[in-house]
Structure 1
Amino acid sequence: MDTMPNRTQYLLELAKGNVKAYIANPKTKAVMVTGSVAEGLCDEYSDCDVCLYYDELPFEAELQLARQQNQGAELIEILGNRQDGAFGESFLMNGIEFQFAHATIAQWEAEISSVLERFEVPSPIMKMLHGTLIGIPLHGETLIEQWKAKVANYPDQLAQTMVEKHLKFFAVWGMQEKLAKRDTTLWYHQILVDSAQNLLGVLSGLNRLYYSTFQFKRMSRFIEQMEIAPENLGSRLESLFHDEPFIAVDQLEVLVRETVELVEIQMPQVDTASAKRKLGWRQQPWKL
């Protein structure tokens, strides 16, 4: 019987075979598998994410040679610009999509520093840092373990920056009558998505977790890592998108209130005044 671990192992073995042609290039200094393969969460729709690091990026001719050596690899697209120090390569093999991210060591270490030393929190890089923590080294293990150790040390200032960045909520709970009178379906759901992502962003900071809104998946598993969170957070976030709007917005307000309270307990230095002012607010109609 096919099981999830079997699918994971199948993709991991394919990845190990595919990277041999790239590792043969002396420019290649480190390679790791990340994503669902590294986490052991593969299903029959999973792709395979691989990160490759170089002193100098390979030329297109070198990439073509590697794909030729991986017989049956069918190029889908090249993403990004090598002049930026990194780009992506996507190809099909055995009906499975492989996404290879190519970067110079200098570029990747600069991106690590942008988050851990300058506390910049651009979404895709946060996802890549999480990917480093879970990554399975296939080549250059010493270098990859150095990165893992550095990324595992989540700075207090980064945690506070995450909280402050995401502690922003639109008070949709105060507009129930207004929403009922207007054609606001897209706007309403956009607010729900933004609010849910901001809740997760705040709580990620409190829990020292790398969080990215970019292609965010497997929410329940992510929330399970949180020691500091409102009770039953996962099911309550899911309910926001299934309940009637007048129920959902009230529940959102409760979640925001509980999250603000956690911030005040865990990070009393953070200014929560703006977020708290919106709690309990209800818009009143004007009269002629």
Structure 2
Amino acid sequence: MTDKNEYLLELVQRNVKAYIANSKTKAVMLTGSVAEGLGDEYSDCDVMLYYDELPSQEELYQARQQNHGAELIEILGDRSYGAFGETFIINGIECQFAHAKIAQWEKEMSSILEEFDVQSPIMKGMTGTLVGIPLYGETLIGQWKAKIADYPDKLAQTMVEHYLKFFPIWGMQSKLAKRDTTLWYYQIMVESAQNLLGVLSGLNRLYYSTFQFKRMSKFIQQMKIAPENLPSRLESLFHHQAPVAVNQLEALVRETVALVEIYMPQVDTSSAKRRLGWRQKPWELREVNQ
């Protein structure tokens, strides 16, 4: 842990005391980069606070006042949904405190663990809980951590099936080069890289969301099942010229599909495989028979 990360950790531990003093508060957890020991001079502080009943705006105001008059930036979300966010500045550092009813958070966990909503940004919150540091209500947070760590097989398969979709840009490079498709090209490459990570996350039982996805290399390090040198190969997709990059993408897709067939043979890979090796041919002018 760096000195800067330690500084942020101490800042959070100091400032959550005013919230913990509220009898409504049942659990508090530090998450994000600071919880992972990766905080730096650009990091903010992400804190989750859980209640049976959400605190009032007056109670939040009083907590900020106890924290040396923290400067409120914004309130995000609608408390009628059972959760909202509070952003404020202390000592020049942005703090993002998310306030949620316990019932709402457990409902959101169920949407992943029981309903298998793999597109939900709550997937990011699942990872955040696993790495989170309990600051209050350790028993309750420990129960959530154990539940999330028990990754359902059905969720893993749903992840793989959802993300196993790749546009065959490797077969259309000559066509796209004539059509001024820079934005579309990068959109396809980004979506393809995201889908590769989604498939591999399912194979490795990892929670994954495309929402504000960061620290790709660290994330991939958790994978025991992945194409060789995956971080550098994904990075290179966005640094090589298109004719090279699309062929590299095709190779990654081919290797990833092969891994699915080995480790999750019940998944139908025929659609993903159909256009591997395919190249679109231009048509030619021919005399039309009368």
Q: Is the 8 A contact 1:16 1:138 kept in 2?
A: yes
Q: 1 CA distance for matches of 2:70 and 2:193?
A: 39
Deviation at 1:74, TM superposition (A): 0.7
Deviation at 1:278, TM superposition (A): 1.7
Q: 2 CA distance for matches of 1:122 and 1:74?
A: 34
Deviations 1:201-243 (A, max 9, x none): 0000000011111111110000111000000000000000000
Equivalent residue, structure 2, for 1:149? 146
Q: 2 CA distance for matches of 1:58 and 1:185?
A: 49
Equivalent residue, structure 2, for 1:238? 235
The reply to whether residue 26 of structure 1 matches residue 23 of structure 2 is yes
Equivalent residue, structure 1, for 2:209? 212
User: Aligned pairs, how many?
Assistant: 285
The reply to whether residue 82 of structure 1 matches residue 86 of structure 2 is no
SS of 1:29 mapped into structure 2: strand
Q: 2 CA distance for matches of 1:275 and 1:145?
A: 39
SS of 1:46 mapped into structure 2: coil
Q: 2 CA distance for matches of 1:270 and 1:164?
A: 7
User: Runs in 1 of length 4+ with deviation above 3 angstroms?
Assistant: none
Deviation at 1:148, TM superposition (A): 0.4
Equivalent residue, structure 2, for 1:105? 102
Q: 2 CA distance for matches of 1:15 and 1:165?
A: 38
Give aligned-pair identity as a percent. Answer: 77
Q: 1 CA distance for matches of 2:179 and 2:40?
A: 42
- Structure 1 range deviating more: 129-138 or 65-74: 65-74
Q: 2 CA distance for matches of 1:123 and 1:114?
A: 8
Q: Is the 8 A contact 1:123 1:213 kept in 2?
A: no
Deviation at 1:179, TM superposition (A): 1.4
Q: 1 CA distance for matches of 2:271 and 2:200?
A: 17
Q: 2 CA distance for matches of 1:141 and 1:5?
A: 25
Equivalent residue, structure 1, for 2:288? none
Q: 1 CA distance for matches of 2:43 and 2:166?
A: 34
Equivalent residue, structure 1, for 2:189? 192
SS of 1:261 mapped into structure 2: helix
Deviations 1:19-62 (A, max 9, x none): 11111111100000000011001111011100000001111111
Q: Is the 8 A contact 1:72 1:94 kept in 2?
A: no
Gapped regions of structure 2 (runs ≥ 5):
286-290
Letter in 1 for 2:159: M
Identify, as 1 or 2, the structure richer in helix: 1
Deviations 1:3-34 (A, max 9, x none): x5211111111101111111111110000000
Deviations 1:185-211 (A, max 9, x none): 111001111000000000000000111
Q: 2 CA distance for matches of 1:217 and 1:72?
A: 32
Give the greater-gyration-radius structure (CA): 2
SS of 2:212 mapped into structure 1: coil
Letter in 2 for 1:124: P
Q: 2 CA distance for matches of 1:123 and 1:37?
A: 23
Gapped regions of structure 1 (runs ≥ 5):
none
Deviation at 1:284, TM superposition (A): 1.6
